[in-house]
Amino acid sequence: MLTPPPTLIRREAVRCLTQEDTEGGYPTPAMDRVWPAHKMPLLAGKATWPLLLVYINSEGVDGQQDNVDVHTLEMEIEAYAIAKDSEVLDDLMDLIALSVYRTVEINEGWFTTGPVLSLRYQGFDKVHEFKGAQFSCLLTLRWTVRYTIPLLESDALDDFLRFHGDYDLATADGQLEASDDVTLPGPEEE
């Protein structure tokens, strides 16, 4: 079975948004606080701000290419932050918007390998709230992603049926002396 392209796209967004540079810095003020498609950090009430959440919200078919359907999905990256000053919060959200945009656009090549055909920025929205002595903001950045689902060859196997192992047979010397590729049989056809 093939890993669904929306899953791969969401994982790739999280990976590029959390990838440290050579000096140990992160590409956005959220640092490594980036999660795919869940609000657990928010619901747990123990969130460290700012944080980013990556979602795939909608998908449809947008024509064909080489007799294969071209799918279009909307990827959203939500940023959440709080501050005691609304101007500081707006400045932070502007910085997050720019850094997320630049990170995704700079790494477009990571997204446009395999089944992904194109990635196009659509814009962002902000929603502000004030409760007690704190300002909060939700920033939602949107991209349209076009991709195809590759056709499986008749001999294609489920990803879970393949295993590759490298082995260090000596006493912890860091040298690999053996490797092995194992392919388990697929389900029997009826």
Domain that holds residue 17: 5-148
In a domain, 176, yes or no: no
pLDDT for 89 beyond 60: yes
In a domain, 181, yes or no: no
H/E segment holding residue 116? strand 116-131
Instruction: Give dist(CA 5, CA 61) in Å, integer.
Output: 13
Instruction: Give dist(CA 112, CA 115) in Å, integer.
Output: 7
For residue range 3-13, list pLDDT tens digits in order: 788 888 888 89
In a domain, 73, yes or no: yes
Band of the pLDDT at 114, cuts 50, 70, 90? low
In a domain, 179, yes or no: no
Average pLDDT over residues 21-48: 77
Separation of CA 23 from chain center:
23
Q: Tell me, what's the pLDDT at 119?
A: 87
Instruction: Give dist(CA 89, CA 91) in Å, integer.
Output: 5
For residue range 44-64, list pLDDT tens digits in order: 655 678 999 999 989 999 888
In a domain, 164, yes or no: no
> How many domains, in total, are found in the chain?
1
Please state, for a pLDDT cut of 70, what percent of the chain lies above it: 77
Q: What is the DSSP string of 95-113?
A: HHHHHHHHHHHHTHHHHTS
For residue range 131-179, list pLDDT tens digits in order: 888 999 999 999 999 988 766 554 554 555 667 777 777 666 667 777 8
Q: Tell me, what's the pLDDT at 154?
A: 46
Q: Between these two residues, 100 and 148, which has the higher pLDDT value?
A: 100
Q: Tell me, what's the pLDDT at 81?
A: 92
In a domain, 187, yes or no: no
Band of the pLDDT at 36, cuts 50, 70, 90? confident
Instruction: Give dist(CA 128, CA 108) in Å, integer.
Output: 30
Q: Tell me, what's the pLDDT at 182?
A: 76
Q: What is the CATH number for 102?
A: 3.30.70.1700
Longest CA pairwise span in the chain (Å): 66
In a domain, 168, yes or no: no
Average pLDDT over residues 76-82: 93
